[in-house]
Structure 1
């Protein structure tokens, strides 16, 4: 056999990735391709059965484990929805969902799956409080309870109600289109909280019983009891309290106590101490993990703490601020990695918990998890080929010696010393049954004993001595069964499993071999003989 040392590693591309700060949010999406009737989602609600209701410009959508069902008005059917444009949705968590449409109010019965028209005239707002539905019809307030609608209060003629909220103390806060915000106590005495703030879009009470009022033109107002504490807007004196837009459409609180504000220019998160705002927007349409549309219409927190976002023309987005299962690094996104490959074949962690991303076409990308930085490597051999840019099929990192071993597709075995940045290519050209080089694709690398590696290739499983740099066949007995290897794994009893054309079990001590293959006549056989990866669970 022969090998050669080519020289020092050259870093041909080094960059700083766009930082994924601690406050980044990655959104999942639900749109028309999943069955949504329209991309404009004006309201969101989750019923007691776990189903989600999305109000759009063209129909009501119910989303559950069976997919999306769309409801629209059916001429001549009194048990259908009363209007096609859905403005608000709420419910009593006891079998009824209430829908405000452009033509009135419908009640959907979860038991009978039928609609009942409560109001067949234009209403301006609805809100479910404590055991009763509040209905606004211009300047008049009605309450719906036990199947009956009763008039509750009438404001002066110039008042046009746009939002209602029943507080935990039993009082009402009423927002208007142009007459400000009113506080109505249990004795129906009126106090004006705000005057000239334009159209009031949302009134929200948080877990601390503090009050939040959103306006179409003046931003967000924060009250404790009836005392104004803070006004968040684009012109706030404190920079950390400036909203991305004064057009506030909806508000919700997550389980951490942070307030999320939906605006016409993205989402703002207000920290629990109410001192810092963070901004999330579309950030470029190509990134599928960002907000699909920066114009936000509705926000809703479900029973699991997931926040659902209804957008103007991007359907539904959702995320959970409590669960950070992963950080998303899109290597194909412009400005990340030059000519990045679409496939990361394997990922190896080093002693600092940073990652080697081994790609199929763009070599090794070293990702610093804390600094959020990428560094891309290349190696040239004497034939002027970028070996690190070839197809990397396998990798193993020796943390004690700081050696990264790479299996190259038709390129042999590569040893890279992270301390010295020196590399060695083991490149054989012997046309013999035990060749491990250009004639074989290295698909698996595992440590074996003190100074050896098991190297799985398309021409067999070999033992590589890291001191002498020699390859020997691991087992002639095993080799006769199937020389084609794509992955290897040791189980808890140190038995060896070999994936190739089927699956082989090999008892290293006794030499026992069991073969598992696909058999169409056996229900408990493998589903296919084409193996890719083996994984041992806990």
Structure 2
């Protein structure tokens, strides 16, 4: 993270060069351009790689329905819930939070569960036996609606005293619906629709029955799979192999988008709109298409998105796009600022963890496979990037430095310092073109030598974050020490460091009691309470 407050005059020039470099990259037509998606699957703690549905509740938890149960994600760790937690058995097909804050869980094969904020409980539909998957759950004027793959739709009230569903009414063919309901939708006018094997059915509340909904211009040949009503009033219909249909709110006329227009696939599985008014279209087999200002952009496994079979897309309250997929778990898109330019001819590892420009204008890029040094001026970005003569790799095999690079920093004299994950601090010797391990500095650090943050203050001192306090090293006098919670830090596990414009050092830790400030004029630490139960990862 670059903070302009700690950039010197020379640093501003270096930062300007770095910005120009990445702007030149953006202007070059590089075949390696990719978008970055965070991925969460079984290896990251998700219960299954098959995700059916995702919601965010009013407490900001992400609830994820998977083939094996339900998971809850708060941004760091994933909790898995199953029948051992009093859930009904079976995977989770649908999720919904009602107006009272209760989370409803619809299972494969007809099971139903609720979470009341403290614990789960399985429920029954009174005397009815539901065998089909619960495909959706909605709330309309205090009544809950459940749709099923085999049992039509059910409307019911929940009695919190007896903790059962009462006053249940079932809707099937005789009520104008069908026994096979694939999903449901409530539009911006509050009208309830069911998407069935015989088309879209619209609920007529006055007559308490369903009727066929088929606007003039909507295909009769391709089955509608999903529908959406956007903020402009336009209505969208995704079909099975027939592309995307858009009904204009004013004229009622339809526009059709398919692969010839740039869609990722003609099989549309889900549609949503983000807070910027962009339409996200998930497909089955082609990834995602984004429609913005009349232009289509695709995300697929050629530019960063692993998932090709999309089950659901939502936007969370921070503006992240959350994607549930059939085979790759949960993927999260955090915005266009995370655009990568990558080729294995350029970098040994596409996950760049540290970037620094040295006093000669060369770029140092750290990853879990060592350091790549890019030399010379990027006059022609494309030819420069892929010229192997401009690339110099430092790693365990050839240059005596750890592969796991976390931080790269210049000191005020232009020396390069590197923080690693498990091998402490290294220094680059320009005259010998090699790294040496800073053994005397590493002696003051925690024994695991995992570096969690690295900064250089205005007096040319190194500040080194570790899992057990912060190391301080006076580069001029060659002496140092390590400060811990006993010396006034808010916690021992350091997560972030910042040198502010006034020369003070700001230290974030895993403790949630506040941020520590080191006053360079007094040599004392003080804890600043933020009022938030957060653990800063960067400052």
The TM-score range, normalised by the shorter chain, is: 0.5 to 0.7
Q: Equivalents in 1 of 2:79, 2:354: separation in Å?
A: 39
Instruction: Identify the match of residue 113 of structure 1 among 114, 119, 126.
Output: 119
Instruction: Identify the match of residue 503 of structure 1 among 470, 473, 489.
Output: 473
**How many angstroms does 1:249 deviate by?**
1.7
| TM-score (norm: length of structure 2) | 0.61
Matched, 1:207 2:231: yes
Q: Is the 8 A contact 2:455 2:499 kept in 1?
A: no
Matched, 1:231 2:256: yes
Higher helix share: 2
**How many angstroms does 1:44 deviate by?**
0.9
SS of the equivalent of 2:169 reads strand
| TM-score (norm: length of structure 1) | 0.62
Residue 281 (structure 1) aligns with = 300
Structure 2 unaligned residues grouped into runs of 5+: 1-24, 160-165, 392-397, 402-407, 419-425, 441-453, 465-470, 502-539
Residue 310 (structure 2) aligns with = 296
Q: Is the 8 A contact 1:267 1:279 kept in 2?
A: yes
Summarize the alignment of residues 422-461 of structure 1 with structure 2, pairs less than 5 Å apart.
Answer: 437-438=431-432
Residue 57 (structure 2) aligns with = 47
**How many angstroms does 1:280 deviate by?**
0.8
Larger Rg computed on CA atoms: 1
**How many angstroms does 1:318 deviate by?**
0.7
Residues 197 and 19 (structure 1 numbering): CA distance in 2 closer, same or farther, change over 3 Å? same
Q: Equivalents in 2 of 1:51, 1:99: separation in Å?
A: 15
Q: Equivalents in 1 of 2:155, 2:351: separation in Å?
A: 57
**How many angstroms does 1:28 deviate by?**
0.3
Residues 219 and 343 (structure 1 numbering): CA distance in 2 closer, same or farther, change over 3 Å? closer
Residues 269 and 134 (structure 1 numbering): CA distance in 2 closer, same or farther, change over 3 Å? same
**How many angstroms does 1:257 deviate by?**
0.9
Residue 308 (structure 1) aligns with = 322
SS of the equivalent of 2:297 reads strand
Residue 92 (structure 2) aligns with = 86
Residues 524 and 94 (structure 1 numbering): CA distance in 2 closer, same or farther, change over 3 Å? same
Residues 518 and 173 (structure 1 numbering): CA distance in 2 closer, same or farther, change over 3 Å? closer
Q: Is the 8 A contact 1:257 1:271 kept in 2?
A: no
Q: Is the 8 A contact 1:204 1:252 kept in 2?
A: yes
Matched, 1:122 2:85: no
Residue 187 (structure 2) aligns with = 167
Matched, 1:71 2:81: yes
Q: Equivalents in 1 of 2:110, 2:242: separation in Å?
A: 29
Q: Equivalents in 1 of 2:353, 2:332: separation in Å?
A: 26
Q: Which moved more, 1:148-157 or 1:159-168?
A: 148-157
SS of the equivalent of 1:181 reads strand
**How many angstroms does 1:256 deviate by?**
1.2
**How many angstroms does 1:316 deviate by?**
0.8
**How many angstroms does 1:45 deviate by?**
1.3
Q: Is the 8 A contact 1:142 1:149 kept in 2?
A: no
Matched, 1:182 2:201: yes
Residue 328 (structure 1) aligns with = 340
Q: Equivalents in 2 of 1:134, 1:319: separation in Å?
A: 31
Residue 214 (structure 2) aligns with = 192
Residue 107 (structure 2) aligns with = 101
Instruction: Identify the match of residue 374 of structure 1 among 385, 398, 413.
Output: 385
Q: Is the 8 A contact 2:409 2:455 kept in 1?
A: no
**How many angstroms does 1:184 deviate by?**
3.9
SS of the equivalent of 1:334 reads coil
**How many angstroms does 1:84 deviate by?**
0.9
Residues 135 and 197 (structure 1 numbering): CA distance in 2 closer, same or farther, change over 3 Å? farther
Pairs aligned (count): 411
| TM-superposition CA deviations, 1:190-213 (whole Å, max 9, x none) | 443356455543222222233222
Q: Equivalents in 2 of 1:488, 1:169: separation in Å?
A: 55
Q: Equivalents in 1 of 2:329, 2:456: separation in Å?
A: 44
Residues 229 and 368 (structure 1 numbering): CA distance in 2 closer, same or farther, change over 3 Å? farther
Q: Is the 8 A contact 1:363 1:376 kept in 2?
A: no
Q: Equivalents in 2 of 1:411, 1:67: separation in Å?
A: 37
Residues 232 and 367 (structure 1 numbering): CA distance in 2 closer, same or farther, change over 3 Å? farther
Q: Equivalents in 1 of 2:432, 2:269: separation in Å?
A: 62
Residues 113 and 370 (structure 1 numbering): CA distance in 2 closer, same or farther, change over 3 Å? farther
Q: Is the 8 A contact 2:356 2:409 kept in 1?
A: no
